[in-house]
Chain A
Amino acid sequence: MSNNQHVYDGADHYKYGFSDGNISVFNTGIGLNDDVVKTISSLKHEPKWMLDYRLKSLHHFINRPLPSFGPKLDDIDFDGFTYFNRAADKESANWDDVPEKIKNTFDTLGIPQAERDFLAGVTTQYDSEAVYHNMLDEVKEKGVIFLDTDSALKQYPELFQKYFGTLVPYTDNKFAALNGAVWSGGSFIYVPKGVTLEKPLQSYFRINSANMGQFERTLIIVDDDAHVHYVEGCTAPIYSKESLHAAVVEIFVGKHASCRYSTIQNWSDNIVNLVTKRASVDAYGSMEWIDGNIGSAINMKYPACILKGEHANGYCVSIAVASRKQKQDAGAKMIHLAPYTTSTIISKSVARLGGETNYRGYVSHGPHADHARSKVECDTLILDDISRSDTIPTNISTNQTSTIEHEATVSKISEDQIYYLMSRGLTRDQATQMIIMGFIEPFTKELPMEYAVELNQLLKLDMSGSVG
């Protein structure tokens, strides 16, 4: 059968909303139980400890209630998804070996181009497992490990087990448990002591099959004095039935090390995106989350930094754009455990066409976080009368010497600004787009240029003709 039949009429509004038909080589069928988990683990030839971990996660997932906050998730039928889907028989080391259909999809996304142009390495995930993986020799020579997570478990079992699940245990939340049970693919990065990667590492994720859950697991370890920038891009085809995405990202930033993690989440508007992203940051280390949320029907995502060493720094700049039927529940968490830790949260939200965007943030200064400083800035732009936005900040300080600053604004697009731009020849739509792009500039300026350009085009596509 052709999945193209499921692509609804609005598909042409979504730039990457194409589907290349059903190419699945193997899947576990619809539903989730012990057997499905055992099958996944056995197909992957995993060690017993991982199978045990998966089963414990599954049982926790089943018993754990839905979150008590955020968008309503009651309607999700967790038995209605396929939890494992294998698209290619084996991972291809060479681009030429990648199946033609998949390659066409990636060609359309421009990955090889991007790789040639500026990327240090590309690992692409198509459904559940990486089908293409390549790295520049330079990166290999520096001793950097950049693999899909499944391969990392096989090739570096000790390193893997030392870190896996220690920052986001399966008991953390319902969807971390789900990920623990059925995780597949994702990226594994290890940057050895003192190594600096000048160019970003990049990975693309893509959901291709209808009703297909995707549960990638990403583990990044940046050793002391090492520096890395990881870029993750997400696009997905449009299907008539909702798909589920529940990823877990764990990042360990060593002493005097730094990691930047940039994402633009652009899932098609039928995807439920429930992601747990967390970093621990050692003394004088720095973690930066650059987090864009444009797509998905429901998005819950709160990148976190646990600042556990003195002078550790956490930074999160995010945008959330909610349109028709979309609910963006996004924000950041900064947990200060050590003295002189600093954090900054900049959140920019745009709500339009009845979309709903909420900032949900958490900043805590623990009893040992003397002289900690935090700054939270969240600004919302509401484009019409039918869209809505809430700001739900939680700021807790339990010591006398730390400071938390919080600023929040909610505004509409100013008619004076529109008039001014129109008086120079821009149409109302162009003027509106320009003002919105200006509004989210604190985010776009953090992106690699190609991404900034693509984001610009995505939003333009998305906004065109939408503002009266």
Chain B
Amino acid sequence: MSTLEIKDLSVSVNDKPILSNLSLTVNSGEIHALMGPNGNGKSTLLSTIMGDPDYTVTHGSIMLDGKDVLSMSVDQRSKAGIFLAMQYPIEIPGVTNSDFLKEAINARRESPIRLFEFYRLMEGAIHDLKMKPDLAHRFLNQGFSGGEKKRNEIVQMKLLKPSIAMLDETDSGLDVDALKLVADAILDLHQTAPMGMLVVSHYKRFYDYLHPSHVHVLINGSIILSGEKDLIERIDSEGYDWIYRQYGIDPSNNGKTSSGLLGTCATKGAFNGNL
């Protein structure tokens, strides 16, 4: 049983404030959906929890089961059970998936995993995500398609078995079949070892598979609205305009007025009136 507790978190990038006084608690077994227009801080929140050096915490705290996450290095956070399936997984030439994963698994073990055991686990994960069998011997993310990269993140997640799992638009770039595959793999892992999950997606379809227990809307660096699944339904059909109006938010205040991009990744037609 794990609890991730974010309190009054403010974060800047290059002295530009992105998150302000954000608070959120995620417990094992819970799936939190994080929604909101682009450029409002969803990825920032996830990256900050993971420890991305580009983000500077200016205020607040992040605790994992009472331990101060902000004082941990990135690898310590990983070993403590935090995992981030990244929006843009990095390519590492010359390093095979299997060498990398073996080292990542061994990083959290007293004694190194036996090779036989490792390959059994890896082959299982590759099979579950219907990746090509040569994945183990390919270089980490190098030359992978967008969808392969995203699936490979979930292969890693399955093998590393985090207690807190964060998915940053893992579903974008996946075709319809792959989306279901990835969702099933996540749910399978979640059922055997319940995680606390923080999921960023623009797709109702992905959330339909995952059945989030909590839904939050992040605008201008703060969670301004939380609810349950019906919130996803409403955003999917109506967009964010009603939230702006209801909470008196001027969307042009958002430094990055990139909400025009939304139409490309949200349900078609939902934003026609807003742009």
Contacts and interface: CB of A to CB of B under 8 A. Distances in A.
| A, B: real partners | yes
Interface of A: 414-417, 419-428, 430-431, 434-435, 437-442
Contacts of A437: 94-95
Given A434-B99, A434-B100, A424 B156 contact: yes
B20 to A, nearest CB: 24
Interface string B72-101: 011101110001101001101111000110
B75 A422 contact: yes
A437 B93 CA distance: 9
A430 B94 contact: no
A421 B100 contact: yes
Given A425-B108, A426-B107, A439 B94 contact: yes
A431 B95 CA distance: 11
B172 to A, nearest CB: 18
A28 to B, nearest CB: 47
A420 B86 contact: yes
Nearest to A440: B94
B31 interface: no
Contact of A423 (B78, B95, B99, B103): B78
A438 B93 contact: yes
30 contacts: A414-B90, A417-B92, A419-B51, A419-B53, A420-B92, A421-B92, A421-B100, A422-B75, A422-B78, A423-B74, A423-B78, A424-B104, A424-B156, A425-B75, A425-B104, A425-B108, A426-B75, A426-B104, A427-B73, A428-B75, A430-B107, A431-B75, A434-B95, A434-B103, A435-B95, A438-B92, A438-B139, A439-B94, A440-B94, A442-B94
B73 A422 contact: yes
Nearest to B78: A425
A435 B92 CA distance: 7
Contacts of B74: 419, 422-423
Contacts of A442: 94
The 9 A-B residue pairs with the shortest CB-CB distance in the complex, in nearest-first order: A438-B94, A441-B94, A425-B107, A438-B95, A422-B74, A420-B90, A425-B78, A424-B104, A422-B75
Contact of A425 (B93, B99, B160): B160
Contacts of A415: 53
B125 interface: no
Chain B contact-residue range equals 20 to 34
Contact of A416 (B51, B83, B90, B99): B90
A430 B103 contact: yes
Interface in B153-168: 156, 160
B75 A427 contact: yes
Interface string B173-197: 0000000000000000000000000
B50 interface: yes
Given A419-B53, A419-B74, A434 B160 contact: no
Contacts of A425: 75, 78-79, 104, 107-108, 160
B95 A441 contact: yes
B52 interface: yes
Nearest to A422: B74
A437 to B, nearest CB: 7
A405 to B, nearest CB: 19
Given A414-B90, A424-B107, A425-B79, 7 more contacts: A415-B53, A417-B92, A419-B74, A420-B90, A425-B160, A435-B92, A438-B139
Contacts of A417: 90, 92
Contact of A424 (B51, B78, B93): B78
B142 to A, nearest CB: 9
Contacts of A435: 92, 95
Contact of B160 (A420, A421, A424, A431): A424
A197 to B, nearest CB: 28
Interface in B122-180: 139-140, 156, 160
Quick one: which of B92, B99, B107 has the most chain A CB within 10 A?
B92
B100 A423 contact: no
Contacts of B83: 423
Quick one: which of A420, A426, A430 has the most chain B CB within 10 A?
A420
A156 to B, nearest CB: 43
Quick one: which of A419, A424, A428 has the most chain B CB within 10 A?
A424
A417 B140 CA distance: 11
A414 B92 CA distance: 10
Nearest to A445: B94
A428 B51 CA distance: 13
B212 to A, nearest CB: 23
Nearest to B142: A438
A389 to B, nearest CB: 19
A431 to B, nearest CB: 8
A434 B108 CA distance: 17
Contacts of A423: 50-51, 74-75, 77-78, 83-84, 86
A428 B73 CA distance: 9
A213 B140 CA distance: 45
Contacts of B73: 422, 427-428
Contacts of B108: 425
Quick one: which of A414, A419, A423, A439 has the most chain B CB within 10 A?
A423
Nearest to B91: A417
A437 B104 CA distance: 16
Contacts of A420: 86, 89-90, 92
A3 B257 CA distance: 72
Quick one: which of A422, A428, A435, A440 has the most chain B CB within 10 A?
A422
Contacts of B94: 437-442
Contacts of B90: 414, 416-417, 419-420
Contacts of B75: 422-423, 425-428, 430-431
A134 to B, nearest CB: 32
Quick one: which of B53, B74, B77, B139 has the most chain A CB within 10 A?
B74
Interface string B53-74: 1000000000000000000011
